[in-house]
């Protein structure tokens, strides 16, 4: 629990979404570290997954802009939508990953 927030609840909520065709939503902290994932298996197996190397993360965190870019992630070409969200005194990034 961080600042009164029960972070595992975020993953549960994301996992209840009806995402299709390999789509995935992840919430990452200001360092690019995943803390919530719509993919239940990925969340359990790879809890230390980092998205800090993604262009989408860097744009969202440095420029505080909403947008999208095409990137390679684990050998798959993805359309990545990103949005920075101010939570307390930090910025989290929401990423929607959509295979192309």
- Domain, as residue range, for 51: 7-99
Any domain includes 2: no
Any domain includes 1: no
Q: Model confidence over 64-78: pLDDT tens digits?
A: 999 999 999 989 999
What is the CATH classification number for the domain harbouring 92?
A: 3.30.450.20
Q: How many CA atoms lie within 13 A of 100 on its CB side?
A: 12
How many structural domains is the chain composed of?
1
Return left, alpha or beta for 38; rule: phi > 0 is left, psi -120 to 50 is alpha, else beta: alpha
The model's pTM: 0.83
Q: Model confidence over 20-68: pLDDT tens digits?
A: 888 999 999 999 999 888 877 666 677 788 999 999 999 999 999 999 9
Cα separation of 47 and 80, whole Å? 20
Any domain includes 30: yes
């Amino acid at each position: 629990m961080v600042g009164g927030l029960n972070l595992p609840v975020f993953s549960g909520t994301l996992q209840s979404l009806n995402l299709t065709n390999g789509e995935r939503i992840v919430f990452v902290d200001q360092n690019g570290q995943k803390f919530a994932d719509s993919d239940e298996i990925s969340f359990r197996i790879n809890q230390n997954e980092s998205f800090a190397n993604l262009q989408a993360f860097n744009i969202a965190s440095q420029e505080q802009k909403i947008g999208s870019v095409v990137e390679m992630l684990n050998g798959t070409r993805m359309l990545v939508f990103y949005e920075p969200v101010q939570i307390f005194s930090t910025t989290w990034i929401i990423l929607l990953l959509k295979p192309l």
